[in-house]
Structures are given as C-alpha cells and as structure tokens.
C-alpha cells in the first residue's frame, strides 16, 4: 500500500521509560525512513500470545527487553548464530512467510560502543567480566570475536560462571574466578554485567584488579548521575569509566540496520540522550 508506515515496537515489562522509541525515531528521521516505533507493555505471563497478536496486526518487527529475551529466543522460527549463542533475543523480525526471525544485537552494541565510540580496543587486552546472568551471556561471543588476551568471568554464584565458560568454550578460553580469589591479578578492561547497580551496589571486587590505565565499563546506564560502578571506578582514579548508554544506542542501531538495511549514525543520538 503506498505511503503505508512500517510499524515497530519495543516490548517489555515494565517498558514505559524505555528510550528505544526516542532512539528509533531519531534514526528514522536521520535516514529518511517512514516508520513508527512505540513501547508496548506485555503482561508477564502472556508474551507469546501478544507477540503473535502484533505479528497478525502487521508489525514489521519488535525489540524485546526485560524480562522476555529468553522467551523470545524460544519463540523464534529462525535464529542468527549470535542469537543462538546468546540464548536470548532482543530483535524480532516478522517475515513475509509469517515466520519469526530472532537476532541479538546486545553484544555488538557493547563492542561497537567500546571500539568505535570510546576508542577502547579489546584485542590483546586482559578482560574481566562481572556477572554470569543473561546480560553477560549476550555479550561473551562478540567480546571473544575481538581476540582479547584473556577473558575472565567473576560471579557470586561460581557455578553460573563455570557454565558460561563451558558453553562458550568453542569460541575461546574463559577463566572463572570468585570475588574473593583475585590474588594479584590485574585487568585492562573491566565490564560490569551484574544487576548490582539496580540496588545501587557494586560487585565485591578488590581495588587491586585495576591495572595501570584500566578501563571500566558498566552495561547499565544512568542519564543524570554516574552509575554505582562508574562511581566506584572514578573514585579509585580510573579516568576511563563509562556507562552503557552508548551500548543501548548501538544495539538499537544494529536492530535498525537489520530491519531497514541502513546503518544510522549513533554519536549525535548518544549526545542528545545524554543531555536529557
Ligand atoms: P540479567 O538478565 O540482568 O543478567 P540475571 O540473569 O538475573 O539478570 O543475572 C544477574 C547477575 O547479576 C548475576 O550474575 C548475579 O549474580 P548471581 O548469579 O551470583 O546471583 C549478579 N548480581 C545481582 N546482584 C548482585 C550484587 N549485589 N552483587 C554482585 N552480583 C550481583
């Protein structure tokens, strides 16, 4: 139909405060794409039914956020390799043959923010990832792809870190360490992928893990204040401590590119979000 607007949305619960509608509207304006993008809250126990409803209503695709990324993975007819590895899906495309294709752009969102926006290289770096939940599973593949010198996971529940190390073994070697067993090890890049920041906490790592010129990256973000982890790092003299706002915009850009086949510019969008 001429002039028809392609419809997209982010689904989650809660989702009202999602920045994704604003990000995708910026991308659409910038690239001259005719589309709409809204935030839709889905009841916790009715993900599948609601996704099929959106598909039947003619939506072209949806982003999936907390707590549905795993269910989205289970629902897909087709998965990208990185989504298969991540065990979670954040980008659904409703295809012309009435199938659902799933991808996960969180990991490339993180690595593109680090390497393109922040000029932080992962290659040959000693990388420490804090946490072993769904968020971390989503980023391990893309981190390993960039050939770090080593990749270590620390988590309270050590068995979950060991399971990740096992699952990603085919992509590269992953060490596992308990928070109270770091000894003298130092790292070049420390990525916080725990949910500790939600309660304004920081994982219990010793200051000694900070190597000279260590970079700290929090996968969580705050618009107006530093996150607890960025605060922790800055107060220990880390000059390169970043939150995950850039990751959010980059994962959105990668989703936009899957749907629209065009790569939006991200820098201006990140700056505009940062300024409120
Ligand atoms: P997500 O999808 O955000 O990854 P998740 O799968 O529930 O959520 O995982 C949360 C992660 O944050 C886990 O690694 C959790 O550690 P445990 O596996 O030991 O529970 C970690 N986490 C949550 N609160 C934390 C805290 N206060 N300190 C350290 N780690 C914390």
Distance CA 235, CA 256 (A): 37
Same domain, 56 and 80: yes
Is 11 a member of any domain?
Answer: yes
Same domain, 12 and 82: yes
Q: Which two tokens stand for residue 211?
A: 């190597």
Q: Where are the alpha helices (DSSP H) in the chain?
A: 20-31, 47-56, 69-75, 81-86, 106-112, 134-145, 158-167, 228-234, 245-260, 267-274
Query: What are the tens digits of pLDDT across the range 116-175?
Result: 999 999 999 999 999 999 999 999 999 999 999 999 999 999 999 999 999 999 999 999
Host H or E run for residue 92: strand 91-94
Is 62 a member of any domain?
Answer: yes
Query: What are the tens digits of pLDDT across the range 186-240?
Result: 999 999 999 999 999 999 999 999 999 999 999 999 998 999 999 999 999 999 9
- Of the chain, the percentage scoring pLDDT greater than 90 comes to 97
Please state the domain count of the chain: 2
Cβ of 203 below 6 Å from ligand 1:
yes
Cβ of 160 below 6 Å from ligand 1:
yes
* pLDDT attached to residue 53: 98
Q: Which residue's entry shows tokens 């969580």?
A: 220
Is 156 a member of any domain?
Answer: yes
Same domain, 208 and 253: no
Query: What are the tens digits of pLDDT across the range 80-117?
Result: 999 999 999 999 999 999 999 999 999 999 999 999 99
Residue bearing the CA closest to ligand 1, atom 14: 131
Using the mean position of ligand 1's atoms as its centre, give its distance from the Cα of residue 196 in Å.
6
Is 161 a member of any domain?
Answer: yes
Same domain, 117 and 225: yes
Is 137 a member of any domain?
Answer: yes
Residue 5 CB neighbours (<10 A)? 12
Same domain, 126 and 161: yes
Q: Give the structural domain span for 153.
A: 107-243
Q: Which two tokens stand for residue 266?
A: 């991200």
Which residues, 6+ apart, have CB-to-CB distance to 148 below 8 Å? 122, 123, 124, 125, 126, 127, 172, 189
Is 1 a member of any domain?
Answer: no
Atom number of ligand 1 nearest to Cα 66: 2
Cβ of 202 below 6 Å from ligand 1:
no
Same domain, 140 and 65: no
Same domain, 128 and 63: no
Using the mean position of ligand 1's atoms as its centre, give its distance from the Cα of residue 165 in Å.
16
Same domain, 100 and 114: no
Same domain, 19 and 136: no
Q: How confident is the model at residue 3 (pLDDT cuts 50, 70, 90)?
A: low
Is 23 a member of any domain?
Answer: yes
* pLDDT attached to residue 261: 98
- Among residues 69, 99, 126, 160, the one annotated as catalytic is 69
Distance CA 55, CA 79 (A): 17
What interhelical angle do 20-31 and 267-274 show, nearest 10? 140
69 is catalytic: yes
Same domain, 44 and 91: yes
Give this prediction's pTM: 0.96
b/e string for 55-90 if b means 16 or more Cβ within 10 A?
beeebbbbbbbeebbbbbbebbeebbebbbbbbbbb
Query: What are the tens digits of pLDDT across the range 142-156?
Result: 999 999 999 999 999
Which residues, 6+ apart, have CB-to-CB distance to 212 below 8 Å? 186
Domain of residue 225, CATH code: 3.40.50.720
Same domain, 188 and 149: yes
Distances (CA, A) of 142 to 59, 91, 115, 128, 252: 29, 16, 12, 14, 16
Distance CA 194, CA 149 (A): 22
CA angle 102, 70, 81 (to 5 degrees): 40
Domain of residue 61, CATH code: 3.40.50.10860
Same domain, 66 and 97: yes
Query: What are the tens digits of pLDDT across the range 9-65?
Result: 999 999 999 999 999 999 999 999 999 999 999 999 999 999 999 999 999 999 999
Host H or E run for residue 238: none
Is 189 a member of any domain?
Answer: yes
């Amino acid at each position: 139909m001429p002039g028809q607007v392609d419809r997209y949305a982010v689904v989650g619960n809660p989702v009202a405060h999602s920045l994704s509608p604003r990000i995708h509207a910026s991308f659409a304006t910038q690239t001259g794409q005719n589309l709409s993008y809204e935030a839709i809250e889905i009841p916790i126990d009715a993900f599948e039914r609601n996704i099929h409803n959106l598909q039947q209503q003619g939506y072209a695709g949806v982003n999936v956020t907390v707590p549905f990324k795993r269910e989205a993975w289970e629902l897909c007819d087709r998965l990208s390799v990185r989504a298969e590895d991540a065990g979670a899906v954040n980008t659904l495309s409703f295809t012309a043959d009435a199938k659902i294709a799933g991808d996960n752009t969180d990991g490339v969102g993180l690595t593109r923010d680090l390497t393109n926006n922040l000029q932080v290289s992962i290659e040959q770096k000693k990388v420490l990832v804090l946490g072993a939940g769904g968020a971390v599973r989503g980023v391990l593949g893309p981190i390993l792809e960039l050939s770090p010198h080593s990749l270590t996971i620390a988590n309270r529940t050590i068995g979950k870190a060991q399971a990740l190390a096992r699952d990603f073994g085919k992509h590269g070697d992953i060490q596992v360490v308990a928070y109270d067993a770091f000894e003298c090890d130092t790292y070049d890049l420390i990525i916080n992928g725990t949910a500790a920041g939600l309660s304004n906490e920081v994982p219990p790592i010793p200051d000694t893990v900070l190597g000279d010129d260590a970079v700290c990256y929090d996968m969580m973000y705050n618009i107006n204040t530093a996150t607890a982890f960025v605060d922790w790092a800055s107060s220990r003299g880390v000059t390169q401590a970043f939150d995950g706002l850039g990751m959010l915009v980059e994962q959105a850009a990668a989703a936009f590119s899957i749907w629209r086949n065009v790569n939006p510019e991200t820098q201006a969008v990140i700056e505009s979000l940062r300024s409120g």
